[in-house]
Amino acid sequence: MMNKIAIFGLGYVGLPLAIEAHKSGYSIVGIDTSLSKVSQLNSGISTVEDISDDTVSNSLSSDSFKVVTELIGEYIFDVLVICVPTPLNAEHTPDLSYLISATKTAAKFVRPGSLVIIESTVETGTTRETVLPLLTSISGLHDTSFFLAFSPERVDPKNPLWNIRNTPKLVSALNKDGLNAAVKFYSRFIDTIIECSSLEVAETAKLLENSFRLVNISFINEFFIYCQKIGISINEVIHAAASKPYGFMTFYPSIGIGGHCIPIDPIYLANRAKNIGVSTDFIDLAIKVNHQMPLYFVKQAFLRLGTLSKKRILVIGISYKPNMSDTRETPVASLIRELRIEGAEVFWHDDLVEAWNGETSVPLSDEYDLAIIATPHDYLDLTKLRDLPILNTRESIQ
Ligand SMILES: NC(=O)c1ccc[n+]([C@@H]2O[C@H](COP(=O)([O-])OP(=O)(O)OC[C@H]3O[C@@H](n4cnc5c(N)ncnc54)[C@H](O)[C@@H]3O)[C@@H](O)[C@H]2O)c1
């Protein structure tokens, strides 16, 4: 009976997983190396916006749910799930240091029959080539004595419709017994499980999903510039095109991509492709188009004001996505930096983020030369801007 679960990394992926698995009857130990995160959770404060403080308190009030910074003492786990970050390093290539570190810790608790699952996004081959050797060498077990699975997470923070339970889950494993064990584990709290024939298929499917989004978001952003130039509404064009009942999928313009997935995962794919001599022109171009979007809006601001020198500009919304406070890889950082390079005095308003890079959110008001709506949160009351000129990064007719 699989009952005792260790979850390494309690971020946007690991915390919802821990809570949902606990609700379905599993006993959970969450391990996160961030002392502040563990302290917050132990004080009943949620660290993920989709999860309320009450949910965290309720879970942690149970004897079968605890969160710690490290595993000290005797623990026995049936399933060990790894949900740690897989970012880029200074050279802009995959940084597997968190994954390797968490795998090394997990390996110490692997026993015959244990199931280890990687949920972190990785480039094709990482589970077999990097994770498996660490597990076998540290545990001293042969790879037939325990199970190894890869199951990418698809969580879309703040999505009101799709959540961990009703989003179909890809599951893959080193062998058939591992696959059966992983399917059994997830089936208790996830409605639909899709089995993949190999670890590499599931790893690559995750990279395809997010590269697909990157390419399409970039394309619609380029299209946005076209619509702006000819003076028609991009959103009306999208709405009209979307009336076609097949063969079209809507993507909307923005100031660019952000977060821990879309700007990073395609680079994992491109990195592996380059290593095996395959080109990734679509991905390379999409990244380039996206990086240019903040600069495009700097140019638009310049055209509006004649000069940016000493102009007071209010940037509204700095998170990478509306209605959440996540600023990881936000394209708004580049917008603000470039405006300042051009001599503008830049202030920002975002009451969901409040504090960022040593600066704080200013109130919405008309005491500026220009407002740029970078990330439109629902709570914003734009009437406070009165007659202030507005540059909207999501609509071509301003
Ligand atoms: N954020 C998303 O929407 C999303 C969606 C799908 C997949 N993913 C993937 O899931 C993985 C995790 O992403 P996330 O957004 O949850 O990251 P996150 O930064 O929100 O959380 C990761 C947590 O892991 C902790 N951590 C780091 N090293 C550790 C270690 N050695 N042991 C234990 N804990 C450790 C960090 O302190 C952090 O709290 C990444 O590979 C990401 O690409 C993320």
The atom number, within ligand 1, closest to the CA of 14 reads 16
The residue whose CA has the least distance to atom 13 of ligand 1 is 85
Question: What is the band of 397 on the pLDDT scale with cuts at 50, 70, 90?
Answer: confident
φ, ψ for residue 87 (rounded to 5)?
-90, -160
Alpha-carbon distance of 102 to 100, in angstroms, equals 6
What's the predicted TM-score (pTM) here?
A: 0.94
pLDDT score of 343: 98
Give SS3 for 180: helix
- Identity of the amino acid at 197: S
Q: Is 157 in the pocket of ligand 1 (CB under 6 A)?
A: yes
Q: Given this model, what pLDDT does residue 396 score?
A: 86
The pLDDT-based confidence of 342 (bands split at 50, 70, 90) is: very high
pLDDT (0 to 100) of residue 373: 97
Tell me the mean pLDDT in the region 111-127. Answer: 97
**Residues recognised as catalytic:** 261
Instruction: Kindly give the distance from the C-alpha atom of residue 124 to the centroid of ligand 1, in angstroms, as a whole number.
Output: 18
Distance CA 32, CA 14 (A): 9
List of domains in the chain: 4-197 (3.40.50.720), 235-392 (3.40.50.720)
pLDDT digits (tens, 9 = 90+) for 2-29: 799 999 999 999 999 999 999 999 999 9
Distance CA(123)–CA(39), nearest Å, equals 32
pLDDT tens digits, 178-229: 999 999 999 999 999 999 999 999 999 999 999 999 999 999 999 999 999 9
Gap from CA of 42 to ligand 1 centroid (Å): 19
Residue 52 scores a pLDDT above 80: yes
Q: Examine the pLDDT at 1 and tell me if it is beyond 70.
A: no
Q: Is the CB of 317 under 6 A from ligand 1?
A: no
Any long-range contacts for 362-366 (C-beta under 8 Å, 24+ apart)?
A: 362/314, 364/314, 364/316, 365/314
**pLDDT tens-digit readout, 363-381:** 999 999 999 999 999 999 9
Q: Confidence band (pLDDT; 50, 70, 90) for 155?
A: confident
Confidence of residue 157 (pLDDT cuts 50, 70, 90): confident
The pLDDT, as a whole number, for residue 379 is 96
Tokens of residue 84, six digits: 């740690």
How far, in Å, is the centroid of ligand 1 from the Cα of 201?
21
Average pLDDT, the chain: 96
Decide if pLDDT at 398 tops 80.
Answer: no
Which ligand 1 atom is at minimum distance from the Cα of 8? 33
Judge if the beta carbon of residue 102 lies within 6 A of ligand 1. Answer: yes
Q: What is the Cα–Cα distance from 377 to 332, expressed in whole angstroms?
A: 14
pLDDT at 277: 98
d(C-alpha 48, C-alpha 10), whole Å: 9
Distance between CA atoms of residues 261 and 250, nearest Å: 19
Question: Hey, which of 31, 77, 83, 163 would you mutate to test ligand 1's pocket, going by the most ligand atoms within 8 Å of its Cβ?
Answer: 83
Q: What is the pLDDT of residue 158?
A: 85
Tokens of 127: 């589970």
Q: What is the residue with the minimal CA distance to atom 25 of ligand 1?
A: 9
How many Cα neighbours within 13 Å face the side chain of 64?
14
> Distance, CA 94 to ligand 1 centroid (Å)?
14
Angle, helices 281-305/265-275, rounded to nearest 10 degrees: 140
Q: How far is CA 45 from the centre of its chain?
A: 21
Report the distance separating Cα 300 and Cα 270, nearest Å: 32
To the nearest whole percent, how much of the chain has pLDDT over 70?
Answer: 100
Please list the residues that pair with 373 across neighbouring strands.
316, 392
CA pair distance 171, 42, nearest whole angstrom = 31
The atom of ligand 1 lying closest to the CA of 120 is 41
**Residue 32 exposure: Cα atoms within 13 Å on the Cβ side:** 24
The answer to whether 258 touches 323, Cβ cutoff 8 Å, is: no
pLDDT in tens, 295-337: 999 999 999 999 999 999 999 999 999 999 999 999 999 999 9
Q: Is 223 in the pocket of ligand 1 (CB under 6 A)?
A: no
The pLDDT value recorded for residue 307 is 97
Substitution site in 105, 170, 260, 319 for ligand 1 pocket (most atoms within 8 Å of beta carbon) = 260
Q: What is the pLDDT of residue 255?
A: 96
How far, in Å, is the centroid of ligand 1 from the Cα of 81?
A: 12
> Tell me, what's the pLDDT at 215?
98
The rounded distance, in Å, linking the Cα atoms of 303 and 376 is 22
- 161 pLDDT band, cuts 50/70/90, is very high
Pocket of ligand 1 contains residue 279 by CB under 6 Å: no
Distance 102 CA to ligand 1 centre (A): 11
Q: Is 218 exposed, middle or buried (0-12, 13-18, 19+ CB in 10 A)?
A: buried
Asked whether 30 lines ligand 1 (CB < 6 A), one says no
Q: Which of 8, 12, 15, 56 to mutate to test the pocket of ligand 1 (most atoms within 8 A of CB)?
A: 12
Instruction: Report the alpha-carbon distance of residue 165 to residue 20 in Å, rounded.
Output: 8
Q: Which atom of ligand 1 is nearest to the CA of 265?
A: 43
Task: Report how far residue 139's alpha carbon sits from residue 83's, in angstroms, rounded to the nearest whole number.
Answer: 20
pLDDT recorded at residue 202:
98
13 Cα to the center of ligand 1, angstroms:
6
